[in-house]
Amino acid sequence: MSKTKITRNYQITIPKDIRENLKLKIGDNMQIHIIDNKIVLESIDENVWENISDFLPENFDKIQKHIRNDQTERFKKMGII
């Protein structure tokens, strides 16, 4: 367990062992929560959306184009566009 002190600007320093353990870098974004009367800092994964499509089928782009084209044709037939 590490200790830190609140400065006059209400800032704290994250101790080196914790920064290294969590691989935190200058400029990383953090979320802060209060849970059961405790302050919880949570690292925000900026790259979370890069791998979000891993669960999609390989031909997803083709499926998506087909769905969009099908909707466009329906809208044309209905006189919407």
Q: Where are the domains of the chain?
A: 1-46, 49-81
- At 70 the three-state DSSP class reads helix
Q: Is domain 1-46 in CATH 2.10.260.10, yes or no?
A: yes
- Give CA–CA dist 45/51, Å, rounded: 11
Task: Give the separation between CA 30 and CA 3, rounded to whole angstroms.
Answer: 19
Give the pLDDT confidence of 23-81 residue by residue, as tens digits. 999 999 999 999 999 999 998 877 766 666 677 788 888 888 888 888 888 888 888 88
pTM: 0.51
